[in-house]
């Protein structure tokens, strides 16, 4: 375990020097997986995905966000970013699927403001969505 901890510390130091280094974030994610910290690994992938999205590489960002969600499906912040990235990339149906998952989680948590936000985003992507609910 010491070797992994040493590598994690080295990656964290590298990120202090350059927080926008996606390669280091990906390496750090793999180290956290080896250590069993799936949430930290997902967080690293999420940060790397945001860098890809900012750099205009939506397909890579989508892949990293999906990978992050596989590591920790409870990360609603990652699910929310995936929905936004998919919508921006024109992947309307996939974005709606993510938003529906997000809607279920927000409604379960009794978070009315967030629930309304998610409903609004779904309706913007698919104005007929409400009709699908009432069928």
CATH number reported for the structural domain that contains residue 86 in this entry: 1.25.40.10
* Of the candidate ranges 1-10, 24-33, 38-47, 125-134, the one whose mean pLDDT is the lowest: 125-134
pLDDT band at 132 (very low <50, low <70, confident <90, very high): low
**Residue range 92-107: average pLDDT?**
89
Token digits of residue 43: 């967080």
Report how far residue 80's alpha carbon sits from residue 117's, in angstroms, rounded to the nearest whole number: 11
Is the Cβ–Cβ distance between 55 and 36 less than 8 Å?
no
Number of domains within the chain: 1
pLDDT in tens, 18-69: 999 999 999 999 999 999 999 999 999 999 999 999 888 999 999 999 999 9
Give the chain's radius of gyration (CA, Å). Answer: 17
């Amino acid at each position: 375990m010491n070797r992994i901890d040493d590598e994690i510390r080295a990656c964290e130091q590298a990120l202090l020097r350059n927080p926008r280094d996606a390669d280091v974030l990906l390496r750090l994610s793999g180290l956290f997986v080896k250590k069993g910290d799936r949430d930290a690994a997902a967080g690293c992938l999420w940060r790397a995905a945001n860098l890809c999205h900012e750099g205009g590489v939506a397909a890579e960002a989508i892949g990293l966000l999906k990978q992050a969600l596989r590591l920790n499906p409870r990360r609603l912040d990652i699910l929310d970013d995936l929905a936004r990235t998919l919508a921006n990339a024109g992947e309307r149906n996939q974005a709606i699927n993510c938003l529906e998952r997000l809607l279920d989680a927000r409604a379960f948590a009794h978070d009315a403001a967030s629930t309304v936000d998610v409903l609004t985003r779904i309706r913007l992507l698919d104005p007929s969505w409400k009709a699908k609910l009432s069928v």
